[in-house]
Structure 1
């Protein structure tokens, strides 16, 4: 599991502990995958696959040891039974593993979620702003302008900046201009909850590099990001996040 998400976020917000035993059992049921296409259309298929169940493209029918692999609903149920706080499922596409993360800290709109080994993803209003311990980490991201569009399900243009670690451990800023468009509506049930959402697609381009990034968010009328597929950085690619318990 060490390659999926990583080391604890260095902040007071990550100080609260949670029951690791059963959640670790759930995380141990991670899914080994083989899909790595990061195009916009494929990304939407991958993200919705978390809701519908793992497809053969995302995960083999048998784990390495020969046992069956649980679908996301089963993993969510195991995590909910072991941890009483907010929960998400996350899958980094290049690593091809699905795991549960429990909330370990909250500071206003900023929420930190961690695996049992304290590997973390940090969000502001549902948009990914940092990771820790992945190698080539997303150190921070300025997302306020695009979040105002996405959470209000409103099309428009806005700027955002990623700051990530390159292969030599140097922090690199990546300013981007982003266009947000409204997509189709999507209703789905997951882990005992019903969501009525609108798909919001974000395409960001870096002027100084020939780089284009696509993110997708399934947003409720209350501005909750129920499901998303978000870019971490050039080396790590995309992560799909499914809300289990708000």
Structure 2
């Protein structure tokens, strides 16, 4: 069984006792996301997996503002998604503090073809200092395929986004349905966290 995020957070706390810098307590959600979701039945969920930590968890939608939905679990980990793209995380340690994904959202719709576009991201480093990165990104692959979601086979377009900064390059992969829904994605969060895979769960 894969460890949950709660175990990961506990491990981070123990490392603080051994002399490493203690991590601050994370807020459950950004104060930008303020509209509470009081639905108790069939609440949307996503499954997330952190490759670098071998940890997975199911997160529940608890608030929304405009196109941004905040997803949380019982341990206090939260992920804010703008139409499926990560714009911030909390509770992971080296969090994504903010990300401007407006151009990436347009690129998923085919707006730039194979041309480059900008993407901006601020992350939290191991010394609790924020680091700003300006990326030049490009859609490097777009191909039709199918994926399994629960017991369902879903036709999707697999889109690979490659982003480069000074001396640094990352990629994000999206599996997009015909109506624009991101059924699955593999997105880079920060150097300390690495990639997060996100999958929508059927209600």
Normalising by the residue count of structure 2, what TM-score does the alignment of the two structures yield? 0.80
Q: Summarize the Cα distance change of 1:155–1:96 in structure 2 as closer, same or farther, 3 Å threshold.
A: farther
* Higher strand proportion: 2
Q: Could you tell me how far 1:127 is from its partner in structure 2?
A: 0.7
Paired position in structure 1 for 2:199: 242
Counterpart of 2:53 (choices 84, 95, 98) is 95
Q: Give me the whole-angstrom Cα distance separating, in 2, the residues matched to 1:167 and 1:18.
A: 37
Pairing 1:81-230 to 2, within 5 Å after superposition: 84-152=42-110, 155-156=113-114, 157-206=116-165, 209-230=166-187
Quick one: higher RCO (CA 8 Å, sep 6+), 1 or 2?
A: 1
Secondary structure of residue in 2 paired with 1:204: strand
Specify every segment of 5 or more residues in structure 2 that has no aligned partner in the other structure, as ranges. Answer: 10-25
Q: How many residues align?
A: 181
Question: Which of 28, 34, 39 is residue 13 of structure 1 equivalent to?
Answer: 34
Following superposition, which runs of at least 4 residues in structure 1 exceed 4 angstroms of deviation? 14-19
TM-superposition CA deviations, 1:50-101 (whole Å, max 9, x none): xxxxxxxxxxxxxxxxxxxxxxxxxxxxxxxxx6211110001111112111
List runs of 5+ in structure 1 lacking aligned partners: 20-82
Conserved 8 A contact 1:227-1:242? yes
Distance 1:142 1:16 in 2: 24
Match of 1:74 in 2: none
> Counterpart in 2 of 1:29?
none
Change over 3 Å in CA distance of 1:14–1:192 after alignment to 2: farther
